[in-house]
Amino acid sequence: MGLIKKKLKVFFVFVILVKIMKFKYIFLSFLIPILCYWFFTNDRIDDELLQYYINQSDQTPSQIKIMSYNIRSSNLDSGLQSWNYRKNKLSSLIQKYNPDIICTQEGLRDQLFELGGFLPELKMFGFLKDQREDFENLVIFYNETKMNFIKGDYFWLSETPHIEFSKSWDAMFPRLATYAIFEIKATMNKVFIVNCHFDHKGAEARKNSAYSIVDTIKKLAPNEYNTLPIIIMGDFNEAPYTKGYYFFIDEGFLSILENCQQIFQVFKCSFHYYYGKIVENLLVRVGLFFGFKYHSGTFPKFDNYHIDWILTRSGDNTIVKHLVFHMPSDDNDSSGIYASDHFPLFGIVELQNQ
C-alpha cells in the first residue's frame, strides 16, 4: 500500500510539473515576442548620416535617388487606412527622401493624379488610359529637372504582352510592367528603369512574369537592354531566392539590398499590412515563414520576406554602384495611420563610366 501511495505522489508531482512547464511555455511565448519588439533596434538609425548621403547625392550629378513603393489602392480600405488619411503621410514621406525616380505599384488612376498633385516637382509616365476605377496602374515618377525622359512603354505580364488586360498561367489578375529610359541631364548617362507588379496568387505566373519582362524588353528595346544600365523595381509578391529571382540573377542582375555599401534600416518583411514594425515580432515572423509556404508553395529563407525588390545590372560602359539602401518606416507619429501597407524601398546608386 505504501508503494502505491509513493507512486501516486510521484504521479501527482509529475502532473503539477507538467502543468507548470505548460504555463511557463505559454508565458514565454508571449514574453519573447514582446521583448523582441521592445528591444528591436533597427528603428534607431543614423539620420544625420542618411541625410548626408541624400545631400551628397543631390550635389553629385552621377548619383540618382530611387524608390519603389506599393502605395495600396485607394478603394480597398476604410477608417485610418483609407486613402484620405494616408495620402498626406505618404506624399510627405516621398518628399522627405526626394527621389529622382520612384516606381509605384497599385495606384488607381485618380489616386495617382492626386498623388502627382502633392509632388509637383515630379512628372509621371505609365499606363493611365483606362477609366476602370478598380484597375491598379504602374507608373514611374521622375524629377524633370534632373532627368530627361527618352522613351518608354508598358506591356502585360502574359503570353500575349501587347493585348491589354491579358493574363496567363495561374494569374488571378491581369498584371502590368512599365519601362522607361532616362538620361541624366548633367552627365548624359542613360538608365533603363523597369517597374513591375507580379501576381499575388499564381506561383507559375510569378516565375513566368520574370521571363516575360526580359523577353518582352529584348524585343521592344533590344539595343538598350543589351547596353544600358538597368534598374528593376517592384512588388514581386514573393520572397527572394525563388525561381523568378534566380532567373534575374542569371541574367546578370544584383539585389541592391545584398550588395550595398551602406544599409540603414531593413525590416524582416517589406509588406506589413498596416502593422508596421510589429512584423519584427517573433511569432509574426514564424507565421510569415509558414504563410509563404501557403502563398507561394515554397519556404523562404527564414527572416527574408521582402516581396519588394530593387535589382540592378551594369551596362556596357556604365557600372551601377550601390551606395545606400534604406527601408523607411511610415509610422513616425502616434496617430496610428500608416502611409501604406508596404514599407517603401529607398536607394542611392551611382552610374560610373568605365
User: Over 60: is that where the pLDDT of 37 sits?
Assistant: no
pLDDT band at residue 224 using 50, 70 and 90 as cut-offs: very high
Percent over 90 (pLDDT), the chain: 60
How far is 9 from 12, CA to CA, in rounded Å? 5
Report whether 177 contacts 195 (CB < 8 A): yes
Helix crossing, 203-220 with 243-250: angle to 10°? Answer: 30
User: Over 80: is that where the pLDDT of 121 sits?
Assistant: yes
Residue range 286-297: mean pLDDT, rounded: 74
How would you class 211 by CB atoms within 10 Å of its CB: exposed for 0-12, middle for 13-18, buried for 19 or more?
middle
User: pTM of the predicted model, to two decimals?
Assistant: 0.85
Decide which of 305 and 87 is more confident.
87
How far is 282 from 276, CA to CA, in rounded Å? 14
Torsion of CA 84, 88, 91, 96, to 10 degrees: -160
How far is 293 from 298, CA to CA, in rounded Å? 5
Those residues whose C-beta lies under 8 Å from the C-beta of residue 63, and which sit 6 or more positions away, are 56, 57, 323, 348, 349, 350, 351
Read out DSSP for 298-330? SPPPTT-B--EEEEEE--SSEEEEEEEEE---S
Numbers of helices and strands, H then E, in the chain: 8, 13
- 147-156 sheet: strands from edge to edge: 147-156, 176-184, 190-197, 230-235, 308-313, 254-255
pLDDT in tens, 53-100: 999 999 999 999 999 999 999 888 888 889 999 999 999 999 999 999
CATH class (in words) of the domain with range 46-353: alpha beta
3-state secondary structure of 159: coil
Calculate the average pLDDT of the chain: 85
Residue 221: the pLDDT is: 93
Picking from 104, 108, 141, the residue whose alpha carbon sits closest to that of residue 125 is: 141
User: Over 70: is that where the pLDDT of 26 sits?
Assistant: no
User: Over 60: is that where the pLDDT of 179 sits?
Assistant: yes
Read out DSSP for 120-148? TTEEEEE------TT--EEEEEEETTTEE
User: Over 80: is that where the pLDDT of 42 sits?
Assistant: no
pLDDT in tens, 140-158: 999 999 999 999 999 999 9
- Locate 89 and state its grid cell: 503621410
How far is 230 from 257, CA to CA, in rounded Å? 16
Instruction: Sketch the domain layout of the chain as residue ranges.
Output: 1-39, 46-353
Residue 353, number of CB atoms within 10 A of its CB: 10
Residue 275: the pLDDT is: 81
Percent over 70 (pLDDT), the chain: 84
Q: What is the separation of C-alpha 244 from the centre of its chain, rounded to a whole number of angstroms?
A: 15
Residue 277: the pLDDT is: 80
Q: What is the DSSP letter of 105?
A: E
Whole-angstrom CA distances from 238 to 27, 104, 242, 245, 265 are 33, 17, 8, 9, 20
Strand pairing report for 308-313 and 254-255? antiparallel
3-state secondary structure of 80: helix
Strand pairing report for 345-353 and 63-70? antiparallel
